[in-house]
Amino acid sequence: MSHVVSLNSRKGKRVAQDEHDLGVLDPVTSSRIVAMFEAHGYTLRGAYNSPLLAGAGELVVLSRI
């Protein structure tokens, strides 16, 4: 795979206080996704949010060439 495109939240989902609360225990944010791919040799080529995307969304493009 030479390119990765991810559309995710910059802030992640609401964090649950415990396993019975609504929300997630370990949120996945765009920055976390980028860090995971960079650890495997990918390079961030661009990150796009406002004004292209509404809300807390972020589109990231990574490549390994």
Distance CA(9)–CA(26), nearest Å, equals 13
pLDDT of residue 57: 83
Backbone angles phi, psi at 37, to 5 degrees: -70, -35
For the question of whether the overall pTM of this predicted structure is more than 0.85, the answer is no
pLDDT of residue 28: 86
Provide the number of structural domains found in the chain: 1
Per-residue model confidence as pLDDT tens digits over 13-62: 888 988 788 888 888 888 999 999 999 999 999 999 877 766 778 999 99
Q: Which residues span the domain enclosing 20?
A: 3-63
Cβ pair 53, 37 in contact under 8 A? no
Q: Can you name the residues that pair with 6 across neighbouring β-strands?
A: 60
